[in-house]
């Protein structure tokens, strides 16, 4: 059986190659573009790592808001319903549902920031608002 590299291995090798071999040999006028390519590879690597696990976490937390709709709607359906409920003001009143909605929004925002800037996401997670602030 052949030992194959993972997607993470391939993206890491590609980024390392751009940074160590390609970038130093480019004229200054195009080095910025090569740095953007290296950054894009790092983001793709983090996205590949997050993958399906993140989707399941999102579904699980939205299921707290819509426990009876999980199987019939799936994650996309729950997300659409959540967005429409926000637009209708269904989470404006103080209470547990409002706190759950804010928790989901905060977690989703942190997950998105973590993909593009993991260091900033760690700082933001440390400054997470308390449930009392959401009430």
Taking CA 123 as the corner, what is the angle to CA 122 and CA 124, rounded to the nearest 5 degrees?
90
pTM of the predicted protein model: 0.64
Lowest-confidence segment of 13-27, 35-49, 82-96, 114-128 by average pLDDT: 114-128
pLDDT at 33 (0 to 100): 94
Average pLDDT in the 21-28 region?
95
Exposure string of 3-39, with b = 16+ CB inside 10 Å and e = fewer, is eeeeeeeebeebbeebbeeebeeeeeeeeeebeebbe
For residue range 61-86, what is the model confidence (pLDDT) as tens digits? 777 788 776 667 777 788 888 999 99
């Amino acid at each position: 059986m052949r030992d194959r590299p993972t997607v993470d291995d391939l993206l890491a090798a590609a980024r390392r190659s751009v940074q160590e071999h390609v970038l130093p040999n480019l004229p200054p006028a195009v080095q910025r573009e090569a740095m953007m390519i290296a950054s894009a590879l790092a983001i793709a690597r983090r996205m590949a790592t997050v993958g399906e696990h993140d989707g399941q976490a999102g579904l699980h937390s939205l299921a707290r808001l819509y426990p009876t709709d999980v199987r019939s709607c799936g994650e996309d359906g729950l997300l659409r319903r959540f967005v429409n409920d926000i637009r209708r003001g269904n989470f404006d009143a103080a209470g547990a549902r409002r706190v759950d909605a804010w928790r989901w929004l905060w977690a989703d925002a942190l997950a998105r920031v973590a993909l593009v800037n993991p260091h900033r996401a760690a700082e933001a997670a440390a400054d997470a608002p308390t449930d009392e602030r959401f009430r």
